[in-house]
């Protein structure tokens, strides 16, 4: 006997008389021990649309669509439905499918297809059309129009289902094992405006998995009607780990700058059109490198100067060597006062045409073209060793830095930049380190991001805290992103 929908009035009774429900099991919906092909899971098309059926059982607080679309029973990723009562994922909706059995055994009847976003009532198998479900569909696949994107920076604060406030765009990311280095790079890409706008408005059909999953994380970060005030970027993290073939993993913190360069080049290859892409249009600059060979200690030149033009996505800034003795006080609280400091303008002198000698070569770096966004990489760690760190403090203003004047760029002498992202290293995470509650120690990387014109937030995995811009340089800056005015 098919299950009947509750009827509250004559209208509902009359609709039930004309409702045709296919009692017969679809010929190919039977699930054996082996996973059937996708064609065997075709759904039975309902003949009518009905609204307000079992919608009072939908529990939005149980819904979380950040995880991989995978059946909780068969582990299949084909034809997945989410139960809107308990939030679990199941395969298929025809008879002899896991979703069908779940509706009978657990008395949960409302399911949504995660691809088509069509809602059905099982086991009776009729479709529900109701506007009250639109908020759930928006959470599954947030969409943005060109008009929405222009007003994103004006959105400000929003509230989740429990009434907890969160800052749209500055949403905490759940850390999967030791992946804080991935979280800070996702935060960085989500706050480079042209890349963010591209990911928000991009048609994700037939896009590579990395672009599609990163775009979904960024869209959920900038969605103003979320059910939860945090995001779990599990799918994006797993795609990065798999696509990099183990170069970036889950068990140890890696170098976030290496990840950033890898992701930018990988994304460029996936979305480029006519040898360019939003990545290169936003971050790619050019410099001239003049190279000369040194014959002896007198610095006589053997060959003529060789000048080459090369593009760059980031400027690497060399810190001065760490002093042998930096702690002269007996008071541990004054230890940071003994750490050397250097100005950002001093580090940028490397690219204004001055001489830099390395390995018997004299090189002159001259920036000839400034991009819309400049990425600065402060080289704090020795090569292939994240444990050896240079603690030198880098001092910098947060706005109106005259990069054009400092780098002597022709035609861009008046170009000034404002800081929008500052990724810092705040400590090391030992594998065996646990606190009193048996939890893992703090993650070593944190992102400071600017929201709007002057508001700054410290995003440390799930924790989001407002900070004063005067406090940014107190942490050990590692990656900075500057926006051209």
Task: Note the pLDDT tens digit of each residue in 76-104.
Answer: 999 999 999 999 999 998 888 999 999 99
- Joined tokens for residue 193: 């405006």
CB 430 within 8 A of CB 441: yes
Which of 142, 141, 164, 168 has the alpha carbon at shortest distance from 153?
Answer: 168
Asked if residues 211 and 263 have their Cβ atoms less than 8 Å apart, the reply is: no
Cis peptide before 315, with omega less than 30 degrees from 0?
no
What is the model's pLDDT at position 2?
A: 45
| Whole-angstrom distance, CA of residue 373 vs CA of residue 366 | 18
| CB environment 65-83: b (16+ within 10 A), e (fewer) | bbeebebebbebebbbbbb
What sign results for the dihedral spanned by CA atoms 234, 208, 267, 215? negative
Going by the DSSP 8-state scheme, the letter that residue 327 receives in this structure is -
pLDDT at 300: 56
CA dist 416 and 345 (Å) reads 13
Task: State the pLDDT at residue 276.
Answer: 87
Tell me the two tokens of residue 310: 């090369």
Secondary structure element (H or E) that encloses residue 341, with its range:
strand 341-343
- Other C-beta atoms lying within 10 Å of the C-beta of residue 206: 6
Rg of the chain taking only CA atoms, in angstroms: 28
Q: What is the pLDDT of residue 238?
A: 92
Closest CA to 42 of 32, 24, 29: 29
d(CA 121, CA 426): 50
Residue of 56, 29, 62, 49 lying closest to 120 (CA atoms): 49
pLDDT at 317: 92
Nearest-angstrom CA–CA distance, 458 and 446: 7
CA atoms within 13 A on the CB side of 234: 9
Query: Could you give the residue ranges of the DSSP H alpha helices within 340-464?
Result: 344-347, 403-406
- CA 256/CA 352 separation, integer angstroms: 27
Give pLDDT, residue 304.
73
Q: Please report the pLDDT score of residue 322 as a whole number.
A: 77
Strand ordering across the sheet containing 463-467:
315-318, 373-379, 476-484, 417-425, 445-451, 455-460, 463-467
Which one, of 332, 485, 349, lies nearest residue 420 by Cα? 485
> What is residue 453's predicted lDDT score, i.e. its pLDDT?
81
pLDDT of residue 165: 87
Helix intervals (H) in 292-369: 344-347
Regions of the chain where pLDDT drops below 70: 1-53, 294-303, 324-337, 355, 357-360, 384-385, 428-442
The model's pLDDT over 182-235, given as tens digits with 9 standing for 90+, comes to 999 999 999 999 999 999 999 988 889 999 999 999 999 999 888 988 899 999
Task: Say what the pLDDT of residue 340 is.
Answer: 85
Structure tokens that stand for 311 in this block: 């593009």
């Amino acid at each position: 006997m098919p299950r009947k929908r509750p009827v509250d009035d004559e209208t509902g009774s009359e609709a039930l008389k004309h409702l045709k429900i296919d009692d017969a099991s679809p010929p190919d919906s039977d699930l054996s021990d082996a996973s059937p092909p996708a064609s065997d899971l075709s759904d039975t098309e309902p003949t009518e649309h009905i609204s307000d059926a079992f919608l009072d059982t939908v529990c939005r607080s149980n819904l979380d669509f950040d995880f991989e679309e995978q059946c909780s029973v068969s582990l299949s990723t084909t034809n997945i439905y989410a139960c809107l009562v308990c939030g679990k994922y199941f395969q298929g909706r025809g008879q002899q499918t896991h979703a069908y059995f779940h509706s009978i055994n657990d008395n949960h009847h409302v399911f949504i297809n995660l691809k088509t976003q069509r809602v059905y009532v099982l086991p009776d198998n009729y479709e529900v059309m109701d506007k009250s479900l639109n908020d759930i569909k928006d959470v599954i696949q947030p969409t943005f129009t060109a008009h929405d994107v222009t007003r994103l920076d004006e959105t400000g604060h929003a509230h989740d289902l429990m009434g907890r406030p969160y800052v749209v765009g500055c949403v905490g990311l759940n850390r999967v094992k030791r992946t804080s280095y991935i979280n800070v790079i996702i935060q960085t890409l989500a706050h480079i405006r042209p890349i963010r706008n591209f990911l928000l408005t991009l048609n994700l059909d037939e896009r590579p998995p990395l672009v599609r999953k990163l775009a979904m994380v960024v869209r959920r970060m900038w969605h103003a009607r979320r059910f939860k005030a945090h995001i779990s970027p599990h799918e994006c993290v797993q795609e990065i780990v798999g696509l990099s073939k183990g170069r970036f993993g889950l068990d140890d913190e890696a170098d976030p700058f290496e990840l950033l360069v890898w992701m930018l080049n990988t994304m460029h290859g996936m979305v480029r059109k006519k040898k360019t892409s939003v990545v290169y249009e936003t971050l790619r600059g050019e410099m001239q490198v003049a190279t000369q060979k040194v014959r002896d200690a007198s610095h006589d030149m053997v060959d003529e100067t060789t000048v080459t033009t090369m593009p760059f996505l980031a400027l690497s800034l060399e810190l001065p060597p760490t002093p042998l003795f930096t702690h002269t006080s007996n008071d541990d609280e004054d230890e940071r006062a003994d750490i050397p400091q250097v100005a950002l303008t001093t580090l940028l002198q490397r690219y204004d045409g001055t001489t830099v000698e390395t390995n018997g070569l004299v090189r002159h770096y001259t920036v000839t073209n400034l991009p819309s966004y400049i990425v600065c990489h402060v080289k704090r760690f020795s090569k292939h060793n994240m444990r050896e760190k240079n603690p030198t403090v880098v001092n910098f203003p947060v706005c109106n830095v005259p990069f054009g004047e400092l780098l002597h760029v022709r035609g861009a002498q008046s170009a000034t930049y404002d800081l929008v992202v500052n990724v810092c290293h705040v400590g090391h995470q030992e594998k065996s380190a646990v606190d009193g509650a048996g939890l893992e120690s703090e993650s070593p990387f944190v992102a400071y991001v600017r929201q709007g014109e002057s508001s700054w937030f410290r995003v440390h995995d799930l924790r989001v805290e407002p900070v004063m811009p005067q406090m940014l340089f107190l942490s050990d800056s590692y990656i900075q992103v500057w926006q051209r005015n």
